Structure 1
């Protein structure tokens, strides 16, 4: 409420000057809105050495702290945006956390206070996380199974994940959900050494194979899905799978040599994904056109991520420079130095999350979250737990209440 009062005071003070400039009034109002984060968006940060989670309210720059079961957890956001998945890979455990914000199309309802969910999982090396069609999924590297639960069960007493056994060997795998409720899952046949899989097959919710693999690769890592296409990074090219069993490889650019995309990111456009490799940079993968085009070619990228609404790509360089790309035009729309340079050999590097209005960057050395306004590049620092580790945004890019 204080922020709204200050806005009104500002506008009334300037009223004599702006009386005849209604367009200027609109511009000023937009500028004031862009100066702060959406009311119902939150930042969650895990810690490398302690069990603490830092829940950041970016509107007022405050942090509250919660104790997870273990330290050094990976964080993800569920499809609805309301919940976060907390993956303790080494400790064979999955937790859920509720932002307390429920989206209703044009507004957000507050459903209690932020808290852990009753829903927990126990499996062997849960690693890969996905959330589609109201489900929460993990791929368990320790035994090649999937664990699945419903978002609606997060607060059901004693709720747990159900295991899907598709007869897979243990491997460092991944899965993707199709719109018809079936899954694409990686499988290992040991044609290459190591833990990476070589193939992808389509299964149903019981683990039954619906469509066997049609393409064999020299190794798979990284994947994303828009519900129509499941896309996997592979040493043999970009592997695309569909729910009807169709599969294809899109060739990598001719100058890639042995490089390949180990990270695949979703975008807001069906059939378009971002592929990233530290050896070359970030590229737009167009499944329909069978094309791969550069967004940024650089070997100095520390991390790249899609924005929360999937319309932009954020790139953080080791130099401390942040670049923002429009995924429709592939053009850079913003860039600025936002943090100090980071050594490429640093054991713990900053991570970031990107909203429509801000980029949030962890600072492990100073126990802070760096909040950068994308309109002005003004910087605010918010104290976190001792050694901030992973980061995710959850909640909603919306400020309208019921």
Structure 2
């Protein structure tokens, strides 16, 4: 009898072990307060365009008594995560806001937030690009570019550099920075009708052309991004790639991309920490662009994309669809790692996106999302009532924390950095 019970117990134990092995492993959510960087902050704006900063770990809210942002302006984050650049297109002005979060790679410092006193003045500042601590803005009104180095913004003598008289014509263009203080800039062929340019050339900081390839010509160019080594421009026939070693080439559109309206990539996004770029075509979806292999590969084919952006370090691509489904992709391999329909606030700052013309639509797609923003490991979501901010694990999109949002919050933006 004892042998029988011993045998039965052994069978039961084996069965239990077998069941446990067949069950899906339990994934523990990270301890948010231990994993999130102490140097990450959430910038928030209220109905009066006044700014504040929340420390998401301890919920401390800094509400400085400073001049408001321009409600009609577009706000962008510098590549270091420290500065918010306010582009006031109609007024021809660019202002620089210092969040006070300074990165020293292995540690950080926090100072009082403030506006930088110097501003950049040029007609119709429009397209923004930031890479490797360099801030570049293309001015549609005269084809000039505005250049500001983050390392000099705090110096008393700081003044943005406006590089003008480039000879590129007045047009709706784009520009960005490449290693060696070279600038990849669009040039308009005046014999071609319309507001878009046809060429990309490299210039120096005096506006002189240092490299061009007239064989690389397209019908139209819109949008660009840079990681310092490469600058990628969206174009009707593909993407124009300029490199820091003085090369310009065209990577042709693969199927289903085409040169017709809505079917070519008019918005490009990048991150300094990754080698791939991400382009958006309104009727086709999002594509990965690899300048090294000259490959363009679909990531998500959809004509219902509301917004898309990269996490702070470029490790994740976050896509929001019109039905508020959020998809997260690993940029190392394009694999979808999470997908979930979220409840979010309405993106009031982009109310014109649905009715905008094609070029305005692509310009709005280049702006930061006003209701979703990401650090390296977490997604921050402004709730529908705009009274709370949900924190989601980017690997699962499961909630890990809820933060109280200040009264009348309209927009949020991740600022700061992760120590390495």
TM-score (norm 1): 0.82
Alignment partner, residue 41 of structure 1: 40
SS at match of 2:31: helix
1:313 matched to 2:314? The reply is: no
1:358 matched to 2:378? The reply is: yes
SS at match of 1:388: strand
Alignment partner, residue 53 of structure 1: 51
The gaps in structure 1 that reach 5 residues or longer are 1-26
Alignment partner, residue 117 of structure 2: 118
1:371 matched to 2:370? The reply is: no
1:374-393 equivalent positions in 2, closer than 5 A? 374=393, 376-378=398-400, 380=402, 382-384=404-406, 386=408, 388-389=410-411, 391-393=412-414
Provide Cα deviations, 1:192-237, integer angstroms capped at 9, x if missing partner: 4332211111000000111134311111111111212111000111
Match of 2:289 among 271, 279, 285: 285
SS at match of 2:90: helix
Alignment partner, residue 298 of structure 2: 294
Q: Write the distance in 2 (CA, Å) between the matches of 1:213 and 1:57.
A: 48
| 68-77 or 246-255: bigger deviation | 68-77
1:159 matched to 2:180? The reply is: no
Deviation at 1:381, TM superposition (A): 5.4
| 242-251 or 178-187: bigger deviation | 242-251
Q: Write the distance in 1 (CA, Å) between the matches of 2:223 and 2:344.
A: 29
Deviation at 1:158, TM superposition (A): 6.5
Q: Write the distance in 2 (CA, Å) between the matches of 1:153 and 1:228.
A: 22
Mapped contact 2:136–2:177 kept (Cα < 8 A): no
| 184-193 or 126-135: bigger deviation | 126-135
Relative to structure 1, is the Cα distance of residues 70 and 338 closer, same or farther in structure 2, using a 3 angstrom cutoff?
A: same
Q: Write the distance in 2 (CA, Å) between the matches of 1:351 and 1:191.
A: 42
| 113-122 or 368-377: bigger deviation | 368-377
Alignment partner, residue 361 of structure 2: none
1:9-24 equivalent positions in 2, closer than 5 A? none
Deviation at 1:367, TM superposition (A): 4.3
Match of 2:334 among 321, 330, 334: 330
Q: Write the distance in 1 (CA, Å) between the matches of 2:39 and 2:88.
A: 26
SS at match of 1:159: coil
Relative to structure 1, is the Cα distance of residues 361 and 73 closer, same or farther in structure 2, using a 3 angstrom cutoff?
A: farther
Relative to structure 1, is the Cα distance of residues 251 and 341 closer, same or farther in structure 2, using a 3 angstrom cutoff?
A: farther
1:275 matched to 2:279? The reply is: yes
Mapped contact 2:327–2:338 kept (Cα < 8 A): yes
The gaps in structure 2 that reach 5 residues or longer are 1-26, 354-368
1:188 matched to 2:188? The reply is: yes
Q: Write the distance in 2 (CA, Å) between the matches of 1:297 and 1:269.
A: 25
Alignment partner, residue 6 of structure 1: none
Q: Write the distance in 1 (CA, Å) between the matches of 2:324 and 2:294.
A: 34
Deviation at 1:80, TM superposition (A): 2.8
Provide Cα deviations, 1:53-96, integer angstroms capped at 9, x if missing partner: 24333223454254335223222222332222121112222111
Alignment partner, residue 249 of structure 2: 248
1:263 matched to 2:267? The reply is: yes
Mapped contact 2:345–2:371 kept (Cα < 8 A): no
Mapped contact 2:374–2:380 kept (Cα < 8 A): yes
Q: Write the distance in 1 (CA, Å) between the matches of 2:37 and 2:409.
A: 26
Mapped contact 2:177–2:226 kept (Cα < 8 A): yes
1:89 matched to 2:110? The reply is: no
Task: Count residues in correspondence.
Answer: 368
SS at match of 1:31: coil
Mapped contact 2:171–2:196 kept (Cα < 8 A): yes
Alignment partner, residue 363 of structure 2: none
Relative to structure 1, is the Cα distance of residues 340 and 183 closer, same or farther in structure 2, using a 3 angstrom cutoff?
A: closer
